[in-house]
Amino acid sequence: MKKSTIASLMGLAFTSQAFAVENINLDDVTVSASRFEHREFETTYASEIHTAKQIEASGAATLYDFLAQQTSLNILPNIGNKATPSINLRGFGGENGYQNVVITVDGQRLNNIDMQPQLLGAIPLENIERIEISKGSSSVIYGDGATAGSIQIMTKNKTGVTVSTSFGSFGQQNHAINAGISERFFDLSASLAHDSYDGFSQKDTEGHKDSFTSDTQNVKLKIKPADFVRIFAEATNSHNDIRYINPLTKAQFDADPSQNGGAAYSHQGFDTKQWRLGVEYDITSSLKFAASHFQEDKLSEFVNYGSKSFYDYESNEISLRYLGDAFNVIGGLQTFSGARKGDTNVTNKDNKALFLQTEYHPDWFSNALTLSVGARNETVEYRYAPTKGAQLNASENLNAWDVGANYRLNPELTGFANYNQGFQAPDIDRFFNFGGGFNGFINPAKTKTINVGLNHIIANNRFKATVFQTRLNNEIYYFQDNLNFIYRNTNIDKSHKYGLELQDYYKFNDQLSTSLIYNYTRAIIDQENDGAGAFNGKNLPGVPKHSLVANLNYQFVNHVSLNVNQTWRSAAFAFNDFANNFTQKQAQYQTTNVALNYQYKKMNFFTSVNNLFAHENAIQVADDAMYPVDFVRTLRVGIKVDF
């Protein structure tokens, strides 16, 4: 590690941009992952909250940048693609972690039925009001895939007009316009966003760079014919064009990480069209009914290989919620139907679930105690219909539940604990062999997680600590045996994870504030028969033991603020190294980022430098298989204007 980076890390030992311009107020930050709104220190589960003011102060240009630099998530480009990045939460690994966390935007799931990560590149950062990260306890509300937790992204109800534009090195461009109007009987907003870069590596053998372009349009309408009823409609269209970098040998990477790997870059076009309708009806002041319908049509095309896949998604939810003085309950029905239509087959994954989540605040504890209990039953059905051959079917009946408690020891200190059972039903790609052919229906993964933590919140400091342990049966992974030419998706028979999570936000004065997020995570394979004992007791690859995100925010003159960020993760085993015996390991990841903001009336001028010391990072898949990521210094300047 460079001396300058060490100095940055030491200087940021306590850090936070979050509250440089506002006092910490216990009522300011609310969470709603359980579908009940709370002050964040009252939850019965581990939570991490990031508000619009924190997002703006960070200087981040995209949602990827913010999640990677400001949160506890281990985020990396997916083989160079920042639009659908790899996500590691609580030790599920950089390769498969995204399938173990449910991501929603305004309650709508982004998870896919295949091995494509969630599309985050189509969500303009400027549109986000709040990000909630719930850890180890989201399976009742979100079901399939919420084994590590969930990420809820809430967007703004826009009024007025905001225009932002920025340009940067390597052809970076970020442009957005958001406009909205709010009247007595309706709210209407629309946004246009463009995000692109020319590429960070050299041209490939066909003369193309590893470029990325995303164009997204969104419109939202809420009709309020009466105080007790709200009707909403939303439509989103996104076009994405991505070229993926090639792997390099270690010698190539050490010599020049911008090399093209001696081949053409994989070229993917990814388009999605979404629309949603819903209604909310207040039967009484305490009893509320809600229903929504969502439809999505997607096209994924890998141009190099002449491969096209069409996807149809449809989901529905009906719920009834009661909010009382001491007792809250929400229950409902959720359905999802997903189909992938390829050249030789149509494969479906259909989910149907009933869920019930309750909370109780017994008055005999002076409202200092919150108890929560929830349960979910979900049926998952698969259908594989090839153009030639017999149709194959499979189904699973899966259960989730959660029990938790939060107790306020004094006005500043609360403790919480919860026990959660979750599951992940395999995506449809898991049923196919590498290179073609049907692999067979594999088992769903099942988890049992215990969380114990505390929250200490005072006028100028917000501190959270959580310890957790997760026991797993049939954790899903890709088994690769090059010696015997075996490549298939299968299950780790038994495994476990445990760790410590710390968050601290501290405000020294009106000019200086700091934050620190630290994770210690262990992920252990207990038993795996496919490895013939070679994997037993080994570390799950792609999981760093330590990760640290530190921030310093300093307002050194009126209307001018500086944010300095240090992101660091310790070394780990390469993605395919389940026996922990590869010669080369995943090297530590580090980047130092600086952002400067100047506010003049309704105009905000900003500039940022990412990876200030040009640390050469990479994703290590196997020996001599490295994908360069975040290996160059980048500069960006821009302006945002509110009308």
Tell me the domain boundaries of the chain. 3-642
Q: How many CB atoms lie within 10 A of CB 562?
A: 17
Of 134, 13, 105, residue with least CA distance to 516: 13
Compute how many other C-beta atoms are within 10 angstroms of the C-beta atom of residue 299: 14
pLDDT band at 11 (very low <50, low <70, confident <90, very high): very low
Q: Does residue 549 register a pLDDT over 60?
A: yes
Residue 17: per-residue pLDDT: 33
Q: Is the pLDDT of residue 627 over 60?
A: yes
Instruction: Provide, rounded to the nearest whole percent, the portion of the chain with pLDDT above 90.
Output: 72
Whether the pLDDT of residue 353 is over 60: the answer is yes
pLDDT at residue 6 greater than cutoff 60: no
Complete DSSP assignment for 302-324? EGGGTEEEEEEEEEEEEEEEEE-
Q: What would the mean pLDDT of 128-133 be, rounded to a whole number?
A: 93
Helix (H, G, I), strand (E, B) or coil at 65: helix
Distance CA 168, CA 197 (A): 9
Task: Tell me: pLDDT of 1 over 50.
Answer: no
Quick one: average pLDDT of 550-577? 93
pLDDT-based confidence at 5, cuts 50/70/90?
very low
Query: Residue 34: pLDDT above 60?
Result: yes
257-294 confidence digits (pLDDT tens): 999 999 999 999 999 999 999 999 999 999 999 999 99
* Cα–Cα distance, 473 to 496 (Å, whole number): 9
> In this structure, are residues 572 and 92 in contact, taking their beta carbons and an 8 Å threshold?
no
In whole angstroms, give the CA distance from residue 51 to residue 29.
8
Instruction: Find the mean pLDDT for residues 31-58.
Output: 83
Comparing C-alpha atoms, which of 512, 575, 569 is closest to residue 57?
Answer: 512
Instruction: Return the bridge partners of 536, or none.
Output: none
Instruction: Tell whether the model's pLDDT for residue 24 goes beyond 50.
Output: no
Q: What is the pLDDT of residue 483?
A: 67
End-to-end CA distance of the chain: 45
| pLDDT for res 436 | 64
CB contact at 8 A, 298 and 328 = no
CA-based nearest residue to 156, from 121, 182, 184, 135: 182
Which residues, 6+ apart, have CB-to-CB distance to 258 below 8 Å?
A: 200, 201, 202, 628, 631, 632
Per-residue pLDDT tens over the stretch 574-610: 999 999 999 999 999 999 999 999 999 999 999 999 9
Give the SS3 label for residue 530.
Answer: helix
Confidence at residue 3, expressed as pLDDT on a 0 to 100 scale = 38
Task: Output the average pLDDT for the chain.
Answer: 89
Taking alpha carbons only, the member of 527, 523, 529, 526 closest to residue 541 is 523
Which span out of 9-13, 340-344, 410-414 was modeled with the highest average pLDDT? 410-414
pLDDT digits (tens, 9 = 90+) for 305-326: 888 889 999 999 999 999 998 8
Mapped onto helix, strand or coil, the DSSP state of residue 517 is strand
* Mean pLDDT confidence for 219-237: 95
Q: φ and ψ at 42, to 5 degrees?
A: -95, -5
Whole-number Cα distances in Å, 334 to 100, 232, 236, 290, 422: 19, 18, 22, 12, 16
Predicted TM-score (pTM) of this structure: 0.91
607 phi and psi angles, rounded to 5 deg: -145, 150
pLDDT at 311: 94
pLDDT of residue 33: 66
Enclosing H/E stretch for 391 = none
* Cβ–Cβ < 8 Å for 133, 71: yes
Give the model's confidence band at 4: pLDDT under 50 very low, under 70 low, under 90 confident, else very high.
Answer: very low
State whether residue 210 is helix, strand or coil: coil
More confident residue, 77 or 544: 544
Q: Exposed/middle/buried for 534, CB within 10 Å: 0-12, 13-18, 19+? A: middle
Is the domain defined by 3-642 classed in CATH 2.40.170.20?
A: yes
Residue 544 has pLDDT above 90, yes or no: yes
C-alpha 464/C-alpha 458 separation (Å) is: 12
Q: Is the pLDDT of residue 112 over 70?
A: yes
What does the pLDDT average to over 190-217?
94
What amino acid occupies position 542? G
Q: What is the arithmetic mean of pLDDT over 236-252?
A: 94
pLDDT digits (tens, 9 = 90+) for 367-411: 799 999 999 999 999 999 988 888 889 999 999 999 999 999 998
Contact (Cβ atoms closer than 8 angstroms) between residue 241 and residue 212: yes
Q: What percent of the chain has pLDDT over 70?
A: 93
